[in-house]
């Protein structure tokens, strides 16, 4: 889905919205007309102008109610189309840098100790999460964050996830429809917190019965007895005091157990705002025909045990019962005649025994569906994409053709190719020549590959490796840690993991830039020697050309690459293309002259 397709889709939605507005205006006019007919008819009937007027009044009233219902449907459709339009605008924004204004950027998942996420811009402003996420449910957001930071998939599982992403990428209307519905959930996030959802899930999974048997019996018997007493007293067969006793007994029990009933119903209070949206999301997945085994697995989780959407439909009815609490004029009469609180509790307990233990799995399935839809976004907005080939091997291997950074606008991104296998790559180059961006391009595309998504390249082949980074290293004044020592601690974790003899890939940018050149060279050489193992791929950028001499060391399997620049007059020009060998140029003095310092 590129520029032209998005433009056409937006035009189609705008046409639908305009038609919807016109329909709404017509319905409003008809509502006014039928209301007038109903009023005229009833007034005429009251003035004894004939039964024909009463009939006219009833017809007008019935038509008014029907039109009111249709107007509500039309209003809901218009709200959906507006959500759909926003979703399409978000896709359009991803074609430029406008996506950086998206409100949801995954900052909640940022951890200071997570070097990889901070170095590769996985969460936060201008991050991978902000760019790709179409997850609006809490479980979807958590699933996507986990896929980016803690993937534990085998090569077979990654292949299955890729097939699911590939299938969803071909169903763009489904993706837009799904997100337009789920966006309604995020719009009510002030009600639907992670704590409130978890409380409801725990309630559903708990086996205890919240009501004693005698209360359950009373909930059935007292309303029947009260209505019977009212009927008999109207007929004059018994005293009206018995009806009053029934009403008072129900009110007394309602007030006596009000706190306990509220505690049980409380988890449903927040969820009730979004039950219908969740129900619709379940129905979308249940009714779709999928070919990938992973999507079929998610679908089966929702269709088994009576079906998730049917279970949510029942829960929505219970939510409507509970919602009566907010209408005082109806709530207390209902409590005094029908033991309303207890009817809600009995209905919820019945729902709990049938579906309570399935609810968590349902929500997680929707969350994983959103996660896969998010991974499919890259296919819709990028031309230079592919699905990586995951090699089932214990040996570290990475090869890419035309690899680009997914967060850089397509017209500005420069693609590069490289292939490494259990070796060290020393990258030299002038300031601003592209070294850091290249390292981040490798890292962030591997994050996508290990999540099971598409990547920004013409081709990537990689084994599964643990990725380490040392790029944005900061001092910590509160702990008395300098930038240099912070980097030492960062690299220490790499060396320690290296002792496990597990495949790993290391990305180090401007190694030991926080110390003098002599110590930097000694330290960098020591690090490269420690990490030069058959199970490690190390890419390290540096301004110290002396580090390139490690290529001649027979004990180190090293290779040199570089970025360079050229000059047009007094201007520095970069092509951002990586090339074999060591860099032969520097630009620090030229930059100082351009700044007027030299």
Decide: 86 and 183 in contact? Cβ < 8 Å. yes
CA dist., res. 334 & res. 344, Å (int): 11
Q: Which pLDDT score is estimated for 297?
A: 95
CB 144 within 8 A of CB 370: yes
C-alpha to C-alpha distance for 354 and 333, rounded to whole angstroms: 30
Q: What whole-number distance in Å separates Cα of residue 486 and Cα of residue 472?
A: 10
Angle subtended at Cα 381 by Cα 379 and Cα 382, rounded to the nearest 5 degrees = 70
DSSP annotation of 508 reads: E
Contacts of 212 (CB under 8 A, 6+ apart): none
Helix (H, G, I), strand (E, B) or coil at 420: strand
Bridge-based pairing of strands 558-563 and 579-580 is: antiparallel
In 3-state terms, what secondary structure has residue 189? coil
Assigned token pair, 373: 């839809």
Measured at the CA of 82, the angle between CA 14 and CA 312, to 5 degrees, comes to 135
Contacts of 372 (CB under 8 A, 6+ apart): 161, 164, 165, 168, 294, 295, 452
Quote the CA–CA distance of 83 and 63 in Å, as a whole number.
30
Main-chain phi, psi angles of 481, to 5 degrees: -110, 125
Residue written as tokens 């020393």?
A: 426
C-alpha–C-alpha distance, residues 441 and 422, integer Å: 19
Angstrom distance (rounded) from CA 413 to CA 405: 7
Residue 116 structure tokens: 């990889």
Rounded to an integer, what distance in angstroms lies between the CA atom of residue 322 and that of residue 403?
55
Task: Report the candidate in 339, 348, 195, 351 with the shortest Cα–Cα distance to residue 258.
Answer: 339
Query: pLDDT tens across 430-476, in order?
Result: 888 899 999 999 999 999 999 999 999 999 999 999 999 999 887 56
What value does the CA radius of gyration of the chain take, rounded to a whole number of Å?
33
- In the chain, where are the structural domains located? 3-93, 194-370, 389-594
Local structure of residue 306 (DSSP, 8 states): T
522 phi and psi, to 5 degrees?
A: -65, -50
Number of residues that this document lists for the chain = 598
Residues 104-154 pLDDT 10s: 999 999 998 899 999 999 999 999 999 999 999 999 999 999 999 988 899
- First CA to last CA across the chain, in angstroms? 50
Q: What angle do CA 86, 92, 94 make, to 5 degrees?
A: 110
Residue 454, C-beta contacts closer than 8 angstroms, at least 6 positions apart: 162, 165, 166, 169, 375, 376, 378, 379, 385, 386, 387, 448
CA–chain centroid gap for 516, Å, is 45
Query: Long-range contacts of range 57-64, CB-CB < 8 Å, 24 or more positions apart?
Result: 60/34, 60/35, 60/36, 61/34, 63/30, 63/34, 63/37, 63/38, 64/31, 64/34, 64/35, 64/38
Architecture of domain 389-594: 3-Layer(aba) Sandwich (3.40)
Interacting residues of 172 by C-beta distance below 8 A, sequence separation 6+? 1, 5, 380
For tokens 């639907």, name the residue.
Answer: 192
Tens of each residue's pLDDT in the chain, 598 residues? 567 888 899 999 999 999 999 999 999 999 999 989 888 888 887 776 667 877 888 888 899 889 998 998 999 899 999 999 999 999 999 999 999 999 999 999 999 889 999 999 999 999 999 999 999 999 999 999 999 998 889 999 999 999 999 999 999 999 999 999 998 887 666 566 778 788 888 888 887 766 677 777 888 888 988 889 888 888 888 888 888 988 898 888 888 888 878 777 777 776 777 888 899 999 999 999 999 999 999 999 999 877 899 999 998 888 888 878 777 788 888 888 888 888 888 888 889 888 989 999 999 999 999 999 999 999 999 999 999 999 999 999 999 999 999 999 988 999 999 999 999 999 998 888 899 999 999 999 999 999 999 999 999 999 999 999 999 887 565 565 678 888 889 999 999 999 999 999 999 999 988 788 888 889 999 999 999 999 999 999 998 888 999 999 888 899 999 998 877 777 778 899 999 998 876 666 665 666 666 6
The bridge status of strand 571-574 relative to strand 565-568 is: antiparallel
Q: Is the dihedral of CA 489, 495, 499, 500 positive or negative?
A: positive
Cβ pair 227, 337 in contact under 8 A: yes
**Which residues are CB-contacts of 107 (< 8 A; sequence separation ≥ 6)?**
123, 124, 125
What is the distance between the alpha carbons of residues 132 and 407, in angstroms, rounded to a whole number? 10
What letter would DSSP give residue 476? B
Question: Residue 15 class from Cβ within 10 Å (0-12 exposed, 13-18 middle, 19+ buried)?
Answer: exposed
């Amino acid at each position: 889905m590129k520029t032209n397709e998005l433009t056409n889709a937006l035009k189609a939605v705008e046409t639908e919205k305009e038609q919807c507005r016109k329909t709404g205006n017509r319905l409003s006019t008809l509502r006014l007309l039928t209301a007038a007919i109903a009023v005229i008819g009833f007034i005429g009937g009251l003035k004894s102008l004939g039964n024909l007027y009463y009939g006219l009044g009833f017809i007008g009233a019935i038509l008014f109610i029907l039109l009111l219902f249709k107007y509500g449907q039309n209003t809901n459709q218009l709200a959906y189309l507006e959500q759909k339009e926003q979703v399409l605008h978000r896709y359009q924004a991803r074609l430029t840098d406008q996506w950086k204004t998206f409100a949801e950027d995954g900052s909640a998942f940022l951890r200071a100790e997570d070097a990889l996420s901070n170095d590769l811009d996985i969460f936060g402003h201008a991050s991978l999460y902000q760019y790709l996420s179409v997850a609006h449910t809490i479980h979807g957001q958590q699933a996507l964050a986990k896929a980016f930071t803690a993937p534990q998939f085998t090569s077979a599982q990654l292949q299955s996830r890729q097939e699911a992403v590939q299938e969803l990428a071909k169903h763009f209307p489904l993706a837009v429809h799904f997100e337009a519905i789920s966006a309604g959930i995020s719009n009510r996030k002030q009600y639907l917190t992670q704590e409130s959802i978890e409380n409801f899930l725990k309630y559903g999974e708990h086996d205890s019965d919240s009501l004693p048997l005698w209360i359950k019996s009373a909930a059935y018997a007292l309303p029947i007895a009260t209505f019977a007493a009212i009927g008999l007293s109207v007929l004059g067969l018994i005293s009206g005091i018995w009806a009053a006793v029934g009403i008072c007994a129900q009110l007394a029990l309602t007030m006596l157990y009000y706190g306990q009933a509220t505690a049980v119903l409380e988890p449903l209070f927040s969820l009730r705002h979004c039950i219908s949206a969740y129900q619709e999301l379940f129905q979308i997945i249940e009714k779709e025909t999928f070919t990938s085994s992973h999507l079929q697995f998610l679908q089966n989780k929702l269709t088994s045990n009576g079906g998730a959407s049917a279970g949510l439909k029942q829960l929505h009815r219970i939510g409507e019962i509970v919602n009566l609490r907010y209408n005082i004029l109806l709530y207390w009469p209902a409590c005094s005649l029908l033991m309303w609180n207890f009817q809600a509790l009995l209905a919820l307990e019945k729902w709990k025994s049938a579906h309570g233990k399935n609810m968590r799995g349902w929500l997680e399935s929707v969350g994983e569906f959103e996660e896969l839809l998010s991974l499919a976004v890259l296919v819709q907005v990028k031309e230079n994409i592919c699905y990586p080939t995951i090699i089932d091997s214990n040996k570290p291997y990475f090869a890419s053709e035309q690899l680009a950074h997914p967060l850089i606008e397509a017209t500005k991104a420069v693609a590069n190719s490289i292939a490494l296998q259990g070796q060290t790559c020393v990258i030299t180059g002038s300031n601003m020549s592209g070294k850091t961006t290249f390292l981040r391009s490798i890292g962030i595309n591997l994050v996508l590959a290990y999540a099971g998504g598409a990547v920004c390249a013409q081709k990537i082949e990689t084994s599964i490796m643990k990725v380490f980074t040392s790029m944005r290293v900061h001092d910590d004044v509160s702990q008395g840690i300098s930038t240099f020592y912070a980097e030492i601690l960062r690299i220490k974790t790499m060396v320690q993991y290296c002792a496990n003899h597990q495949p790993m890939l290391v990305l180090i940018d401007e190694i030991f830039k926080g110390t003098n050149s002599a110590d930097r060279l000694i330290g960098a050489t020591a690090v490269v020697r420690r990490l030069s193992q058959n199970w490690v791929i190390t890419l390290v950028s540096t301004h110290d050309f002396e580090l390139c001499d490690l290529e001649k060391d027979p004990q180190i399997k090293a290779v040199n690459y570089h970025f360079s620049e050229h000059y047009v007059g007094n201007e520095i020009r970069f092509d951002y293309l990586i090339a074999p060998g060591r860099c032969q140029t520097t630009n620090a003095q030229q930059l100082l002259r351009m700044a007027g310092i030299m």
